[in-house]
């Protein structure tokens, strides 16, 4: 058993695939991840099946699509499906399995197959638990004070971290994983899951990382905006998305992006401590490392922010894979453009470790010969329902409300600047992808089809409603908030 490889799976929240130096980004500083990519394979066409936290994590941990695991919306109190999890499968193969950071399951202390979980749930005490990060802050004399910074989990104001450096959630998670590695059972292989909560807002980088970008003279890039965003009749979902950052100035946008990049670089540097621990423990050459993210963030591109869309900045995610020393299935200095998603992480890591893949898994190994011909994505139901089909070059994004299609040639137009859905030259491609999309629809989506034709449902006008919770702002956490199942308040309204 001791000769079996260890596995370290690292995930972040809100990290677009483009935000890597090795991907050619002009500003981001990611030296550790760039070297990790050089040590293995970077999969350039990796997509979130459902680009929002909870459905994505259900996919990661079960190797299944939203259709199988039951959530394409964001159902905070939906229990995990009765399916074999990645951690459970590793444990049944003789592994010890430990997780640190954000798990985002319900009930929150469900270990989903891990031996133990050191939990950071971003202050969701309303669902009945105090997580381990908040317990740690209390032990340091900061009980309930985390949200005194006044920044929200779902908007783009920013400020520097205001407590000692070691109390930052990124540093805490890295430190906890180092301890887990050091406390391992040396007679059993290990599966470790390190799940950072950032660069997801609140945007709270340490001042030193804001200074690093400024001291280096890095020019923070402004968003790019496609010509199609100027259409006079955007459908309901696009109206919602365009409204979110409509009042931001260029200075505010540049500042938010700087804070976001600083959070990324802080994670990158903390990964050096984790990898250094593996090295000093004599484990690095026999450890598989995978780095990825649940989804990206639009960061103002195409006048949009956050996730829940299938434009590249939201849906195209990083996937870096480093094998054990000498494993030619992964190799080094490789890029791979096959279409992959989070459903493929579980079968890939099991494959590399020589463990049988459960029959329940929908995904396929990223290091095998099998490759998919197209990739399907889905997020939300009702007015905001959005679907995607990607064939490796062309991508179709579809909004059911308003029956709106957008078609992009990602080979010639990687930033999706020009919509080709009305191009005569691309009619056959649009028809092919539309037929593929129809073949994947199920449930309430079938109402969009009449006599085999995709017709959607009538469009609606968007009318902004009050943002009474300041985009789900949290408050003082000492004493703990009541476990009352407080309802979530949407930041937009569908009222006429």
Give tens-digit pLDDT for 142-171.
999 988 999 999 999 999 999 999 999 999
Token pair, residue 4, equals 């079996």
Residue 479: per-residue pLDDT: 86
Residues in the chain where the model's pLDDT stays below 70: 1-2, 483-496
Query: Is 12 domain-assigned?
Result: yes
Query: Is 471 domain-assigned?
Result: no
Token pair, residue 393, equals 């070059």
Residue 184: per-residue pLDDT: 98
- What whole-number distance in Å separates Cα of residue 188 and Cα of residue 482? 41
- In the block, tokens 């691309």 appear at 426
Pairing of strands 319-322, 287-293: antiparallel
Q: What DSSP letter does each residue of 414-467 carry, written as one string? A: TT--S--TT-GGGHHHHHHHHHHHHHH--GGGGGGEETTEE--B----------
Token pair, residue 481, equals 């908030």
Residue 496: per-residue pLDDT: 30
Query: Is 436 domain-assigned?
Result: no
Token pair, residue 122, equals 């971003």
pTM across the whole model: 0.96
- What whole-number distance in Å separates Cα of residue 308 and Cα of residue 143? 33
Residue 493: per-residue pLDDT: 37
Query: Three-class SS of residue 120?
Result: coil
- In the block, tokens 């340490």 appear at 206
Domain membership of residue 282 as a residue range: 6-373
Residue 486: per-residue pLDDT: 52
Alpha helices in 281-326, H assignment, sequence order: 312-315
Query: Is 83 domain-assigned?
Result: yes
- What whole-number distance in Å separates Cα of residue 325 and Cα of residue 277? 17
CATH number at residue 222: 3.40.720.10
Cis peptide upstream of residue 199 (ω within 30 degrees of 0): yes
List, in order, residues 6 or more apart from 229 with CB less than 8 Å away.
238, 242, 302, 303
Dihedral of the CA atoms 488, 202, 480, 469 (nearest 10)?
-40
Query: Is 490 domain-assigned?
Result: no
Number of independent structural domains in the chain: 1
Dihedral of the CA atoms 224, 230, 234, 236 (nearest 10)?
40
- In the block, tokens 């301890």 appear at 179
Query: Is 401 domain-assigned?
Result: no
Query: Is 367 domain-assigned?
Result: yes
Query: Three-class SS of residue 252?
Result: helix
- What whole-number distance in Å separates Cα of residue 325 and Cα of residue 330? 10
Token pair, residue 346, equals 């579980």
Alpha helices in 328-460, H assignment, sequence order: 345-353, 427-440
- In the block, tokens 């005490």 appear at 125
Give the HSE-up count for residue 389: Cα atoms under 13 Å, Cβ half-sphere: 22
Cβ atoms 396, 432 nearer than 8 A: no
Query: Is 236 domain-assigned?
Result: yes
Please tell me what DSSP assigns to residue 197: E
- What whole-number distance in Å separates Cα of residue 119 and Cα of residue 177? 11
């Amino acid at each position: 058993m001791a000769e079996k490889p260890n596995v370290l799976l690292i995930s972040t929240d809100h990290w677009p695939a483009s935000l890597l130096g090795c991907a050619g980004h002009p500003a981001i500083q990611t030296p550790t991840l760039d070297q990790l990519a050089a040590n293995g394979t970077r999969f350039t066409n990796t997509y979130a099946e459902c680009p929002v936290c909870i459905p994505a994590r259900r996919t990661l941990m079960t190797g299944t699509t939203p259709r199988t695991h039951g959530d394409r919306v964001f159902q905070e109190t939906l229990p995990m499906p009765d399916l074999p999890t990645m951690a459970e499968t590793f444990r049944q193969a003789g592994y010890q399995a430990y997780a640190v950071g954000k798990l985002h399951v319900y009930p929150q202390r469900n270990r989903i197959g891990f031996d133990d979980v050191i939990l950071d749930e971003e202050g969701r005490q309303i669902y009945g638990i105090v997580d381990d990060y908040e317990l740690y802050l209390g032990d340091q004399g900061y009980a309930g004070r985390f949200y005194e910074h006044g920044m929200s989990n779902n908007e783009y104001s920013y400020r520097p971290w205001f407590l000692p450096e070691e109390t930052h959630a990124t540093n805490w998670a890295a430190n906890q994983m180092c301890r887990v590695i050091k406390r391992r059972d040396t007679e059993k292989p290990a599966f470790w899951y390190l799940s950072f909560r950032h660069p997801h807002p609140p945007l709270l980088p340490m001042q030193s990382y804001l200074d690093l970008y400024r001291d280096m003279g890095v020019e923070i890039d402004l968003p790019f905006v496609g010509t199609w965003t100027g259409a006079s009749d955007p459908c309901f979902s696009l109206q919602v998305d365009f409204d979110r950052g409509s009042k931001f100035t260029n200075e505010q946008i540049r500042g938010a992006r700087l804070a976001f990049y600083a959070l990324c670089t802080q994670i990158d540097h903390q990964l050096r401590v984790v990898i250094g621990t593996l090295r000093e423990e004599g484990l690095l050459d026999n450890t598989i490392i995978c780095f990825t993210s649940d989804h990206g963030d639009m960061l103002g591109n195409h006048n949009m922010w956050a996730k829940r869309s299938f434009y590249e900045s939201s849906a195209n995610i990083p996937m870096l894979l480093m094998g054990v020393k000498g494993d030619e299935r992964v190799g080094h200095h490789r890029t791979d453009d096959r279409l992959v998603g989070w459903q493929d992480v579980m079968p890939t890591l099991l494959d590399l470790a020589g463990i049988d893949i459960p029959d329940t898994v929908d995904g396929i190994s990223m290091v095998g010969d099998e490759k998919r011909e197209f990739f399907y994505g889905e997020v939300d139901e009702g007015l905001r329902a959005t679907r995607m089909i990607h064939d490796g070059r062309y991508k179709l994004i579809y909004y059911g409300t308003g029956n709106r299609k957008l078609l992009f040639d990602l080979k010639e137009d990687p930033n999706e600047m020009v919509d080709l859905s009305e191009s005569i030259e691309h009619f056959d491609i649009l028809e092919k992808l539309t037929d593929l999309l129809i073949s994947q629809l199920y449930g309430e989506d079938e109402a969009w089809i009449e006599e085999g034709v995709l017709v959607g449902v009538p469009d609606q006008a968007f009318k902004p409603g009050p943002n009474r919770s300041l985009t789900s702002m949290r408050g003082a956490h000492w004493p703990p908030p009541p476990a009352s199942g407080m309802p979530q308040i949407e930041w937009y309204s569908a009222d006429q």
